Amino acid sequence: MRETALERFLRYVKINTQSNESAETTPSSQGQFELANLLVNELKELGLTDAEVDEHCYVMATIPSNIPENHPAQGRVPNIAFLAHLDTSPEVSGENVNPQVIENYDGSDIVLPADPSVVIRVEENPNLKKCVGHTIVTTDGTTLLGADNKAGIAAIMTMADYLVSNPQILHGNIRICFTPDEEIGNGTKFLDIQKLNVKYAYTVDGDLPGELNKETFSADQATISIVGRDIHPGTAKGIMINSIRIAADLIARLPKDMAPETTEGYEPYIHPYTIEGGVGKTTIKLLLRDFRTPGLEEQKQLLQKIIDEVRAFYPKAEITLETKFQYRNMLDHLEKVPEVLDNLWEAAVRSGVEPYWKPIRGGTDGSRLTEMGVPTPNIYTGGNNFHSKTEWLSVDFLNKTVETLVNLVQVWVEKS
C-alpha cells in the first residue's frame, strides 16, 4: 500500500468538517467540500478514474470487478458499496484538531495535554483495557477527534489502496461513497440511489471490532418554541412572561428515566440537546429515540401533555411543538436479506474477531439507505467516545477494520 490507515486518518482529521444544523445548504459547511475534493484526488491517484464529487458534496468512485470471465462467480456477485460520512458532530468543535498519537498504550488514564482537566479515564472507558500495547490516537483536549467518521473514511481508502495494489484478490464491483451532513440527519438527503447503483451497502461507522449493527433507533427531532413577553424587570410585575422560566419548567418535567444518561440497550430516550433564546423567546431542540417506531408517536404525545400542563401556569405564553422525521430502525428490512448479514459475520470471523450484533443507540446513513431499498448494516471502526473531547481511536483496531473490509469483498465472491 502507498499509505497506512493511520497516515490517512491524521491527515483527514485536521480538516474541519463540522456540520451546521442551522445551515440551509447541503453540505452545511465548506470544510466538507475541502475533504471531499482531497479524497477525489486521492482516489484518482489510486487509479479510480471515475472518482467525483457532486454539487451537494457526495463523493463516489468505483473499484471495478476483477473476476475473470471463466470464474464461477462471474456475473453473480452483486454490486456493493462502502460508505462513510464527511462531517463531524456539531456538538463539539472540530476546528484545529491536534491529534496525539500514543504508542504502546500502557492501560492507564490518559490526560490530554492542552487541557489537563480533560481525562480519558479507564474507569469510564472499559474498552481501553482491550487496547494495552496498541497505538492510540486522542485529541489534545480542546476539540473532538473526528474518528466519527474519518476513521471509516481512512479504512475505506486504505481498503481501496490494498485492493488496487493486490489484483490477485478477487472482488466484484465495489462502489465507494462519502456523504455529507450525516450528523444532522441529512446524509442521504440528496444521494442519488440510481447513480450509486448497488444492491447492498455497508456503512463503516461503528465502535470496536466484533460489534456489528443491524438495528438502530427510529428517530425524530422535536422543537419546542416558546414566545413570552420581554419588558424592563423593574416594571415587569404582571406583564413579563419569561420564556426562559417556561423552558426550565418544561425540561424539568421530562421523565428522568427517559434520558440518555439513565438508559441503555433497547430503552428509549428524550434528549433536550440545545436551548437558545432569552426572556421574549426561547427554543428547545430535542432528540426523540426509540427502537419501536410507534414509540416516537408516544413521545410526541408525552411532550404535548407536558406543554399543556405548563401552559396552564403561563396562559399568555405561546408554546408550540414541531417534529421532524430523521430516520427509522433498519432491522425489519435487513432480516429479509440474510446474505448481507451472514457475509459480514463471516468476514469478521476471518479477521480474527468475535462478532456479535448490537443495537446502535443512534443512527447511521444505513438507516435511511435501507428504507430507500439498499440494505445497509454497519461495521466497526475502532473508535470510542464519539462527539466528545475524550474521543479516542485504536489504530490496531482500525487496521482490523481494513482487514474485515478486504475479507468481506472476498466472501461475496466465494458465496456467489
Q: Do 250 and 376 belong together in one domain? A: no
Asked whether residue 1 carries a pLDDT value surpassing 80, the answer given is: no
pLDDT of residue 362: 83
Q: Do 279 and 362 belong together in one domain? A: no
Q: Do 298 and 341 belong together in one domain? A: no
Q: Do 10 and 82 belong together in one domain? A: yes
Q: Which domain holds residue 81?
A: 5-216+329-415
Q: pLDDT, tens digit, for every residue of 344-397?
A: 999 999 999 999 999 989 888 998 999 999 999 999 999 999 999 999 999 999
Domain count, the chain: 2
Active-site pick, 87, 183, 207, 365 = 87
DSSP conformation letters of 45-75: HTT-TT-EE-TT--EEEEE-----TTSTTTT
| Residue from 323, 32, 359 nearest 178 by CA | 32
Answer with the one of 291, 326, 361 that is the final residue of a domain.
Answer: 326
Q: Do 174 and 66 belong together in one domain? A: yes
Task: Tally Cβ neighbours within 10 Å of residue 225.
Answer: 16
Q: Do 73 and 162 belong together in one domain? A: yes
Q: Do 212 and 246 belong together in one domain? A: no
Specify whether the CB–CB gap between 176 and 147 falls below 8 A. no
Q: How confident is residue 147, by pLDDT bands cut at 50, 70 and 90?
A: very high
Answer with the one of 326, 352, 386 that is the final residue of a domain.
Answer: 326
Q: CA 65, CA 192: separation in Å to the nearest integer?
A: 21
Domain CATH code at residue 123: 3.40.630.10
Residue 242's SS3 state is: coil
Q: Do 145 and 287 belong together in one domain? A: no
Asked whether residue 173 carries a pLDDT value surpassing 80, the answer given is: yes
Q: What mean pLDDT, rounded, does the chain reach? A: 96
Q: 146: phi > 0 → left, psi -120 to 50 → alpha, else beta; which? A: left
Tell me how far CA of residue 141 lies from CA of 105, 109, 385, in angstroms.
Answer: 18, 14, 13
Q: Do 93 and 226 belong together in one domain? A: no
Q: Is 342 a catalytic residue?
A: no
Q: pLDDT, tens digit, for every residue of 267-298?
A: 999 999 999 999 999 999 999 999 999 999 99
DSSP character for 78? P
Specify whether the CB–CB gap between 137 and 392 falls below 8 A. yes
Which grid cell sits at 112? 490530554
pLDDT of residue 407: 98
Asked whether residue 316 carries a pLDDT value surpassing 80, the answer given is: yes
Q: Do 187 and 94 belong together in one domain? A: yes
The single residue listed with the C-alpha cell 463523493 is 59
Domain CATH code at residue 279: 3.30.70.360
pLDDT of residue 287: 96
Which grid cell sits at 323? 417534529
pLDDT of residue 326: 87
| Residue from 141, 359, 183, 181 nearest 273 by CA | 183
| Arithmetic mean of pLDDT, 179-199 | 96
Specify whether the CB–CB gap between 128 and 122 falls below 8 A. yes
Q: Do 154 and 264 belong together in one domain? A: no
Q: Do 286 and 354 belong together in one domain? A: no
Q: Is 182 a catalytic residue?
A: yes
Answer with the one of 293, 326, 359 that is the final residue of a domain.
Answer: 326
pLDDT of residue 175: 98
Active-site pick, 182, 183, 211, 403 = 182
| Arithmetic mean of pLDDT, 154-162 | 98
Asked whether residue 199 carries a pLDDT value surpassing 80, the answer given is: yes
Q: How confident is residue 332, by pLDDT bands cut at 50, 70 and 90?
A: confident
| Arithmetic mean of pLDDT, 18-39 | 97
